[in-house]
Amino acid sequence: MEEDSKISDEEASESDEDDYIDDLPDAALARMKNPARTSVSQEVYGIFNKKGNFDARVIEKSEAVQQKIKSRLLESFMFSNLDKKDLKVVIDAMEVKDFEEGKTIIKQGDDGAELFLVGEGLLQCFKEIKGKEDLYLRDYEHGDSFGELALLYNCPRAATIRAKTKSTLYSLDRDTFNLIVKESSQKRREKYEQILKKVSILNSVSAYERSQIADAIKEENFKKGDQIIKQGDEGSIFYMISEGEAIANRVFEPGEEEKEVMQYTPGDYFGELALLRNEPRAASVVATTELVVLKLDRLSFKRMIGPLENILRRNMEMYETVVEF
């Protein structure tokens, strides 16, 4: 693992795009020195910084549209933990916006006054880094959200987002975001980022990449003796251990007893082999204590674990050597 981390660090040093968000704190300080931006900050954090004094906007929408927005909100990490009352406020405040193929939704360097939730369509994120124009970073699909960083850090847009296909987005204004969504999403992100810092495979990722993974993960609890994955089952989840311990058992030949092949403690991960190979689970994993895991589904794993795939594949080879998979 140490060798893999060194290799990935070298690879990361050659790739500036992985760190494109790391300058946000400095940018935030610079923007806050600007009186125009300070007035916006004062407005957000001053009189409106109490829900009781906040009168959220209400944009009329049909019941069908409201239900569609709700389903997309519940797919997004940022909104999935809101209570029913706050969720209703967000749905009422969201505005439906349609964009044609090729249309720019947000432009790097512009001020940001709203975030976007993808309802339908496919969008792409580009970044200009040190003279490189339109460096592709990632896609955004239904249930994804973007544009919150400018609101969270009171900074200019950190990247450009364009519609690759005709798209329907739901936009949320700055005030509603700050008063209803921001506190909840920040607490959740901070909690999981601290846990992810202890996961060995994530040592080399940038702060931005870690925050994106924190946004996508879900937490699950298991009791001692519970089976998390079963050998031979289809694999669709990647797991990282937050608290507790587990072991991996494998049956090498039909009719033989299981043999213990791996032990897991906080910071370890498992389940990636089936996702990388698109094959059934190669072993069973059982909790040996009370266990808390963080998990990524197949789609999120493929989208967000990309920069780590080479490391994961090298580790897969190590597993094959140890347990003769």
pLDDT at position 322 over 80: no
Question: How confident is residue 88, by pLDDT bands cut at 50, 70 and 90?
Answer: very high
CA dist 14 and 27 (Å) reads: 23
Query: What b/e string do you get for 162-184 counting C-beta neighbours within 10 Å, with b at 16 or more?
Result: bbeeebbbbbbbbbbbbbbbbeb
Beta strands in 180-316 (DSSP E): 218-222, 227-229, 237-243, 246-250, 259-264, 269-270, 284-287, 291-297
* Residues 253-311: tens digit of each pLDDT: 888 898 999 999 998 888 877 777 778 888 999 999 999 998 888 777 766 666 566 66
pLDDT for position 178? 86
* Span 225-234, average pLDDT: 92
* Span 130-159, average pLDDT: 83
pLDDT at position 188 over 70: yes
Q: Which residue has the higher pLDDT, 239 or 12?
A: 239
pLDDT at position 1 over 70: no
* Span 9-19, average pLDDT: 37
Tell me which amino acid residue 62 is: S
* Residues 19-61: tens digit of each pLDDT: 333 344 444 444 434 434 433 334 444 434 455 567 788 999 9
Above pLDDT 90, what percent of the chain?
A: 31
pLDDT for position 200? 73
pTM attached to this predicted model: 0.51
When mean pLDDT is compared over 33-42, 123-132, 238-247, 303-312, the highest value belongs to 238-247
CA dist 9 and 218 (Å) reads: 27
Of all helices (H) and strands (E), which one includes residue 104? strand 104-106
- Residue pair 73/90 in contact (Cβ under 8 Å)? The answer is yes
Closest CA to 151 of 125, 174, 117, 169: 174
- Residue pair 115/170 in contact (Cβ under 8 Å)? The answer is no
pLDDT for position 6? 39
Residue 66: both structure tokens together: 């409201």
pLDDT for position 103? 96
Of all helices (H) and strands (E), which one includes residue 213? helix 207-216
pLDDT for position 8? 41
**Domains (range + CATH), the chain:** 17-182 (2.60.120.10), 217-323 (2.60.120.10)
Q: Which of 52-56, 104-108, 119-123, 157-161 has the lowest mean pLDDT?
A: 52-56
Give, in order, the Cα–Cα distances in Å from 258 to each of 64, 254, 281. 52, 10, 14
Give the contacts of 171 (CB within 8 A, at least 6 positions apart).
94, 95, 97, 114, 115, 116, 117
